Amino acid sequence: MVVDSGMHYLSSHGHEKSGNDVIFSWLARYQNAAAAGADAVNGTVGALLEDDGSLAINAVVDAALRVAPAPEFSAYAPLKGLPAFLDLAATLALGIHRETLEASGLFTGATATPGGSGALFLAANNFVERGEAVLLRDRHWGPYAGFLRGCDLRTATYPLLPDAPNDAHPFLDLEAFCAQLEGLASTQKTVMTWLNDPAHNPTGLSLPSESRSALLMAFMESAMRHEHTGHTLLIDAAYHLYAEEPHGWAETIADVIASGVPWPENMLICFALSLSKSHTIYGLRAGALVYVHPDEAHIDRLNDVMGVTGRQTWSAAPRIPQHVLSELHASAEHGEAWSEERDRLGALLDHRRTAFLRACEVRDVAVNPSHDGFFAWYECDDPVAVAEACADQHVYLVPLSGGVRIGLCAVPLASVERVAEALSRARSGEA
């Protein structure tokens, strides 16, 4: 614990909070280098930039915001969110599979949140008993740990990838996941796992349908074996609308239900939805927690629980993005225009990723498998040393636990080769 001499007004858990966010620290290093005139490459931020370095903004969303009525900017939203926005959130989470899921007897609910982070907080605050552990992959977005610690929760992890080649599930260590899940279900009153998929941050990994199905079946079977232990599967869908299969999880759920597998009453599936990336409105803090269950009474109760939690934390989520986005998507013309612009931005990411993976292959730089979204990942034993070696070449990346995150969302296409070359030289000690 950090001891702050004389600061007796800080609680014990307040004293534990220290340090700067590593991502913003490395962004500042890039900014300082660029300001000093260096030809620097920015691979630090988690926001999508155009190839000229400016923030990528969906022009359709921007235009809709600028003509919204003044009261929509100033008024409170309902504590649980505008009804039209909550309906939109369920559709954005489930896509064309929503109708199939609801026709099969499942019910959906949602609560508006300040960004995807708010959705994660609602889940951490309500779905796990204090002192218990939440199951994560060992490579995950760093702030997960802070959300969980703030709710007096611990973490349990399983490897991002199998140790040995696995033809059935090359991107999922199913055996390790099941072992950890069984251990938690046998010792805790509640079990929750957070799965950032598709377009995982920090690697860009996306699970194929076979692995999604196997993981879901394992989770359902655990819930059936431990019928008095609550099971919550949370899909962190922060980047899903930039993935090749944006609604793959909804499709997998529909397929499993259609196969006749019964849904355990003690199991809940949630989607933590972020509109920051998909609609390029990072600062407006728009998100939602969407939940799916076969008992409508459970959904009604969850609406109350989440609304009360929000009221006691941030009051109400911002109204203006809820209004503008629900109006925009209610119009077929505007919705299609948004989709076309989102596809343009998605193409930026696809081109950069393809070029980066090719450049790494040519240089024998063994980056992790990366399929979708904003990031790629270089696994290494000393991430800080690798990032420092890249910074010596004025290529700025983010060292995290177990590797270095490459923000393809920020790297211009023309600079992708420099990033691969910097990693190659850092690996060989030539920097």
The mean pLDDT value for 254-276 works out to 97
Q: What is the pLDDT of residues 354-396, one digit of tens each?
A: 999 999 999 999 999 999 999 999 999 999 999 999 999 999 9
Residue 73: inside a domain: no
Residue 328: inside a domain: no
Q: Are residues 171 and 98 in the same domain?
A: yes
At residue 80 the predicted structure's pLDDT band, cuts being 50, 70 and 90, is very high
Q: Are residues 313 and 344 in the same domain?
A: no
User: According to the model, what pLDDT value does residue 316 have?
Assistant: 95
More confident residue, 188 or 19: 188
Q: Are residues 313 and 340 in the same domain?
A: no
Residue 324: inside a domain: no
Q: Are residues 247 and 169 in the same domain?
A: yes
User: According to the model, what pLDDT value does residue 49 have?
Assistant: 97
Q: What is the pLDDT of residues 335-349, one digit of tens each?
A: 999 999 999 999 999
The mean pLDDT value for 106-126 works out to 97
- Burial group, residue 92, by CB count within 10 angstroms (0-12, 13-18, 19+): buried
User: According to the model, what pLDDT value does residue 8 have?
Assistant: 73
At residue 1 the predicted structure's pLDDT band, cuts being 50, 70 and 90, is low
Q: Are residues 396 and 346 in the same domain?
A: yes
Q: Are residues 270 and 344 in the same domain?
A: no
User: According to the model, what pLDDT value does residue 361 have?
Assistant: 97
Q: Are residues 164 and 235 in the same domain?
A: yes
At residue 6 the predicted structure's pLDDT band, cuts being 50, 70 and 90, is confident
User: According to the model, what pLDDT value does residue 97 have?
Assistant: 97
The mean pLDDT value for 111-125 works out to 97
- Residue 214 confidence (pLDDT) above 70: yes
Residue 366: inside a domain: yes
Q: How far is CA 13 from CA 1, 5, 29, 143, 310, in A?
A: 9, 15, 30, 16, 22
User: According to the model, what pLDDT value does residue 3 have?
Assistant: 60
- Residue 431 confidence (pLDDT) above 70: no
- Residue 153 confidence (pLDDT) above 90: yes
- Count of structural domains, the chain: 2
Q: What is the pLDDT of residues 121-144, one digit of tens each?
A: 999 999 999 999 999 999 999 899
Residue 330: inside a domain: no
Q: Which of 317, 347, 371 is the C-terminal boundary of a domain?
A: 317
Q: Which of 317, 345, 375 is the C-terminal boundary of a domain?
A: 317
Q: Are residues 260 and 131 in the same domain?
A: yes
User: According to the model, what pLDDT value does residue 55 have?
Assistant: 96
At residue 11 the predicted structure's pLDDT band, cuts being 50, 70 and 90, is confident
Residue 329: inside a domain: no
At residue 238 the predicted structure's pLDDT band, cuts being 50, 70 and 90, is very high
User: According to the model, what pLDDT value does residue 37 have?
Assistant: 96
For the record, the structure tokens of 149 come out as: 């610690």
Which pTM does this prediction carry?
0.95
The mean pLDDT value for 196-224 works out to 98
Q: Are residues 182 and 293 in the same domain?
A: yes
Q: What is the pLDDT of residues 29-72, one digit of tens each?
A: 999 999 999 999 999 999 999 999 999 999 999 999 999 999 99
**For all residues of the chain together, what is the average pLDDT?**
95
At residue 10 the predicted structure's pLDDT band, cuts being 50, 70 and 90, is confident
Q: Name the CA radius of gyration of the chain, rounded.
A: 22
What is the three-class DSSP state of 199? coil
For the record, the structure tokens of 341 come out as: 């612009």
User: According to the model, what pLDDT value does residue 19 have?
Assistant: 62
User: According to the model, what pLDDT value does residue 20 have?
Assistant: 66
- Residue 2 confidence (pLDDT) above 70: no
Q: Are residues 93 and 179 in the same domain?
A: yes
- Residue 405 confidence (pLDDT) above 70: yes
- Residue 247 confidence (pLDDT) above 70: yes
User: According to the model, what pLDDT value does residue 15 have?
Assistant: 72
Task: Identify the domain containing residue 210 by its residue range.
Answer: 78-317
The CATH number assigned to the domain holding 38 equals 3.90.1150.10
The CATH number assigned to the domain holding 166 equals 3.40.640.10
Q: Are residues 226 and 349 in the same domain?
A: no
- Residue 4 confidence (pLDDT) above 80: no
Q: Are residues 303 and 400 in the same domain?
A: no
Residue 90: inside a domain: yes
Nearest-5° Cα angle at 306, 305 to 307? 95
Cis omega before residue 412 (within 30°)?
Answer: no
Tell me if 290 sits within 8 A of 96, measured CB to CB: no
DSSP letters along 99-128, please? HHHHHTT-EEEEEEESHHHHHHHHHHHHSS
Q: Which of 317, 350, 383 is the C-terminal boundary of a domain?
A: 317
Using CA atoms, how far apart are residues 149 and 16, in angstroms rounded to an integer?
10
Residue 69: inside a domain: no
